Amino acid sequence: MTDAFQAERDAELAEAARKLFAGPIAFLKSAPGLQFLPGADVPEVAFAGRSNVGKSSLLNALTNRHGLARTSNTPGRTQELNFFDVGEPLRLRFVDMPGYGFAEAPKDVVRKWRHLVNDYLRGRATLKRALVLVDSRHGLKDVDRDVMTMLDQAAVSYRLVLTKSDKVKASELEAVRAATSAEARRHPAAHPDIIATSSEKGGGIAELRTAIFESIL
């Protein structure tokens, strides 16, 4: 492909992605267990991350809406998968996975989380991509590595997305991006390139929209 052709294709993809996210998006349902999942008839993209990583803010920024995803961080309360319908006609479903890694989580809550998430990841043919969100200030933690291993074992292709990039200096962001990318390369199902985002300032949001759009083509 020539550079000019590639640039044109990239611009077309970015515009199609922008349009998709500017269109109708609606909360569909919460599933506290597998028996409550919606029909597996639409491509899904799942969002995972430690509690407080900025997942709700990122979902809201991607869709340019306030309050689509609740910014509630009550540990143990959000042990459910939340589904959102994207596009009219329906093109895609977002799956907001319960946050993990909160310090004071009781053991049975953690166990319940693992079961729900693992069952979903292993049984969902329509799950095209997972996005694992990582705070730019902290980089990967062991709980993130556990989730990456779960995704590797379930053979779900995933991307690491840095959040709150506005909270660190450019040099720190590049260091955390390089370290995160180096780890991603050691995981079979991980995409090696990292997308850095700021829900507050908008950095990386268009790039992430395009990456999501590409994953369902």
Applying CB under 6 A, the residues found at the interface with ligand GDP are 49, 51-57, 71, 73, 99, 163-164, 166-167, 198-200
Report the C-alpha gap between 157 and 147 in whole angstroms. 12
Which residues lie below 8 Å from residue 36, measured CB to CB, with a gap of 6+? 29, 30
Sort residue 150 into left (φ over 0), alpha (ψ -120 to 50) or beta. alpha
Closest CB 131 distance from ligand GDP, rounded Å: 12
Query: Between 8 and 174, whose beta carbon lies closer to ligand GDP?
Result: 174
Q: For residue 34, what is the DSSP state?
A: G
In terms of DSSP bridges, do strands 127-135 and 44-49 run parallel, antiparallel, or are they unpaired? parallel
Query: Between 15 and 50, whose beta carbon lies closer to ligand GDP?
Result: 50
Query: Between 1 and 103, whose beta carbon lies closer to ligand GDP?
Result: 103
Closest CB 52 distance from ligand GDP, rounded Å: 4
Query: Between 77 and 186, whose beta carbon lies closer to ligand GDP?
Result: 77
Sort residue 24 into left (φ over 0), alpha (ψ -120 to 50) or beta. beta
Closest CB 28 distance from ligand GDP, rounded Å: 18
Query: Between 73 and 153, whose beta carbon lies closer to ligand GDP?
Result: 73
- Identify the burial level of 21 via C-beta atoms within 10 angstroms of its C-beta, where 0-12 means exposed, 13-18 middle and 19 or more buried: buried
Which residues lie below 8 Å from residue 200, measured CB to CB, with a gap of 6+? 57, 164, 166
Closest CB 162 distance from ligand GDP, rounded Å: 10
In terms of Cα–Cα distance, which of 45, 59, 53 is closest to 141?
53
Closest CB 200 distance from ligand GDP, rounded Å: 4
DSSP assignment of 93-126: EEEEPPPB--TT--HHHHHHHHHHHHHHHHH-TT
Closest CB 172 distance from ligand GDP, rounded Å: 14
On the question of a cis peptide bond just before residue 89, with omega within 30 degrees of 0, the verdict is: yes
Query: Between 50 and 129, whose beta carbon lies closer to ligand GDP?
Result: 50
